[in-house]
Amino acid sequence: MEQSSPLNNEKPAAAGGAKSVISTVLRYLIPLAITVLLVWYMFTKINFSELWDTIRHGVDYRWILLAMGISVFSHVFRALRWQLQLNSMEIKPPLMALCCSIFGTYALNLVFPRLGEVWRCTYIAQREKASFTKVLGSMVADRLSDTLMVLMLLLLTLVVAHDKIMAFMDKYPIGQGLLSLLSSPWFWVGVVGVCLLVWGVFHFLRDAGPVKKVRRMLLDLWNGFASVGTMKGKWLFLFYTFAIWGCYFFQLYAAFYAFGCTRALCEQSGTVAGLLPCLVAFVFSSIGMAVPSNGGLGPWNVAVVFGLMLYGVAESEATSMSIVVWSAQTIMLIILGVYTAIYIAGGKKRSRNLKENVQ
């Protein structure tokens, strides 16, 4: 029998090691680098003595506490919406387990960006002994619903605050670059080319092993997503979607009243009691959350600052406001994460005791 040489054995290991390193860089180091870079950018724009003075004397923390409370309801509504999807696939975890899966998701994302979504699907799939890909598919539908809401809010903002959006596009390089990209015919040629390439791979190589595996996975994901269209309670799903995003918006709006610079926007004529500035900052921050970072730190703050500056708020004041609001929400997520850890540990202990009693 022919023996494999040590060299041949080392190649797969080396390839696997290289793949693991690349995966680690993409998952964790790049988001961390983005976070550090944007936090450094924010800190170059802020006077720390002013920030400390704002924290001590310039914040009405009653409004911050209200914003933190509203954020908890957003997680509960998300759990209720996910429950509808899972129930339609005969997966029926208790509501508290779903709430904790959402709490844990956002707490985990503070440390490991995007890992929280995988964890919550794994937790529910293992807890209910269900198909992971089906649970994952329902989560994809969950996130796609969020993406559609962001697009709808963006369109609304383009209508009601068109002048501010165009001012942003004209003033900042990122806006100018986006306009240039979208107006380039080569960009759309590239989009069409990528679509044709993907179609060609799945059509002409459909019998290849890796393609079959991907097709099966995509089918499971589609089944999880399609459950929205076939499940009972579609209108309730829509209600929960608007409830989630209503909570997101009003927790930021409540925070507006905690700071003098943003409270003034609520008292200015032409801003509709501060709703327009809040909507612009909210949409910018929602888009910023698409950038991988630790709990949104950096992209969320910078996006809020850009939105507020369009309404004349000084950059240092806007930065201080964004840091305080983000910090408060982070404290809330940590508290909810600790509660989730206690809940899961308690559930495991009860399950272990039950098995011992049965034996």
For the stretch 327-340, pLDDT in tens is: 999 999 999 999 99
DSSP, collapsed to helix, strand or coil, labels residue 59 as: strand
Nearest to 224 by CA among 77, 81, 86: 86
Residue 282 has a pLDDT of 94
pLDDT in tens, 297-347: 788 888 899 899 989 898 888 988 999 999 999 999 999 999 999 998 887
pTM of the model: 0.78
Residue 6 has a pLDDT of 47
Nearest to 278 by CA among 297, 259, 299: 259
Average model confidence (pLDDT) across the chain: 81
Sign of the torsion angle spanned by Cα atoms 203, 204, 207, 210: negative
Residue 27 has a pLDDT of 56
Six token digits for residue 329:
């929400």
- Name, of 16-25, 34-43, 159-168, 211-220, the range with top average pLDDT: 159-168
pLDDT in tens, 134-168: 888 888 888 888 888 999 998 998 888 888 877 77
Could you give the residue ranges of the DSSP H alpha helices within the chain? 6-24, 30-44, 48-57, 61-88, 95-109, 115-128, 132-160, 162-171, 173-183, 185-204, 209-230, 234-256, 260-267, 275-288, 299-309, 315-358
| Range name among 46-50, 175-179, 194-198 with the lowest pLDDT average | 175-179
pLDDT in tens, 215-253: 777 776 666 566 666 677 788 999 999 999 999 999 999
